[in-house]
Amino acid sequence: MVELDHTFSTGKDTDYNWQAILDLERLVPCVEGGSVLEATSPESVKAEIKVRMGAMSMTFKGTVEVAERDDDAHRALLKVKSRDTGGSGYANADVTFDVADGGGKIHTAAQISGKAASMGEGVVQSVLDALIKDFCGKLGRA
């Protein structure tokens, strides 16, 4: 299990930010290589993420859903469940958003297995940290 904390800034008000993180079709493409394949309900989508490692790449396909939401506290838990399409590994994550005026906080608890995990937990943590920082930057411009 890898746990990471990040903050993001949008310069927008709380309501705007709250709607932005609940809009999965807008949120998922903010992850580099991420795309929505199908909206299965207003709060769940089938999605994939293609992670490029130079010429090699890994594709994870699965679901993203808003598992819990507290509209008063502007806190939401998004659950990501995905499998490596080229192997037997998986990448799951519980991503908790705490939204406020101007931006918010993200807590990520990820579990990764298979080829990606074979790089070691330290490497996975570094890559995931860089991915989420990139995501936070894109979220600020979404």
Rule CB under 8 A: say whether 51 interacts with another protein: yes
Q: HSE (CB half, 13 Å, CA atoms) of 87?
A: 15
Among 24, 131, 136, 139, binds another protein (CB under 8 A): 131
Nearer to another protein, 100 or 130 (CB): 130
- Enumerate residues 107-126 that contact another protein by CB under 8 A: 115, 118-120, 122-123, 126
Q: Write down the H helix ranges in 59-109.
A: none
In angstroms, rounded to a whole number, what is the distance separating the alpha carbons of residues 140 and 68?
A: 23
Taking the CB of residue 36, how many other CB atoms lie within 10 A of it? Answer: 17
> Which has the closest alpha carbon to 135: 98, 108, 101, 110?
108
Nearer to another protein, 102 or 140 (CB): 140
Which residues make up the interface to another protein (CB under 8 A)? Answer: 32, 51-56, 115, 118-120, 122-123, 126-127, 130-131, 133-134
